[in-house]
Amino acid sequence: MADTNRPLTNKVALVTGGSRGIGGAICKRLAEGGAHIILTYANSTGQAKEVEEACRSHQVKAEAQQVDAGDIAANKRLVANVVERYGPINILVNNAAVLTVADLPNVTEEAFEQNVAVNLRGLFFLTQAVVEHMPEGGRIVNIGSIFGETAPTAGLDLYSMAKFAMAGLTRAWSQDLAPRGITVNCIQPGPVNTDMNPDDGPLAGFLTPRTAIKRYGRVEEVAEMVAYLVGPNTDNVTGVTLNNDGGSTA
């Protein structure tokens, strides 16, 4: 009989940008559900190792890999290595992203290319590499943003561009992969308390009043939604964007 408390037992999950914040919480929650975790990170080696150890405390395999999310060749090597050592990837969570705040007159070509490389190009071809081996019943979750639905202030040009595109890819991929029983969904967080955007930071005074519940979200709340989408009995949920934003877009 399947362990209902560990419904992801023996599943292999790849979480990009998994060393901290939302990504770290997702890794820990999926490990709690029984999944083996491979997490990628850019620079936060110490935090990545802490997440790795936290995942292993749930008696699963866990491994942190330093990978440039915008490097297509590196991402393909990562996938090949994971498949060789762990088997096909059952769960992919595309969480890695960069955020550059600049309005139209001030966006540089360098910033544009970096945002496209990490937030779109790298994500696209990593996903392509994963689905080449993903078995029937696989799950893909894209971590977007409510800024992929609304742009409430100036300077979100590059980030909104990428997150609007992510929502579009979610819909398109759900059609592409439905014949294989693979679901693709997108979670769009609103303000969430992380070290990059703390609930007492400079943006809090602008963002908090725009939520219906008048507080920042918690990383665990986003992770719980991911756990639902990658769990059992969700074959009928695909191609959708789900806001986790405290009513910011209500």
- Which contiguous run of DSSP H or E holds residue 158? helix 157-177
Write the CATH number of the domain with boundaries 12-241. 3.40.50.720
Residue 142 has what DSSP assignment?
E
d(CA 147, CA 100): 13
Looking at residue 2, what is its pLDDT?
A: 55
Q: Is 41 an active-site residue?
A: no
Contact predicate 39/48, CB 8 Å: yes
Q: List pLDDT tens digits, range 84-106.
A: 999 999 999 999 999 999 999 99
Taking the domains of the chain in order of start, what are their residue ranges? 12-241
Exposure string over 93-122, b if 16+ CB within 10 A, otherwise e: bbbbbbbbebeeeebeeebeeebbbbbbbb
Instruction: For the chain, list residues with pLDDT below 70.
Output: 1-2
Q: pLDDT value at position 1?
A: 44
The one catalytic residue in 41, 86, 159, 228 is 159
Tokens of 43: 């620079």
Helices and strands in the chain, H and E counts: 8, 7
Query: What's the pLDDT score for residue 5?
Result: 82
In sequence order, which residues have a C-beta less than 8 Å from that of residue 52 and are 6 or more positions away? 37, 39, 62, 63, 64
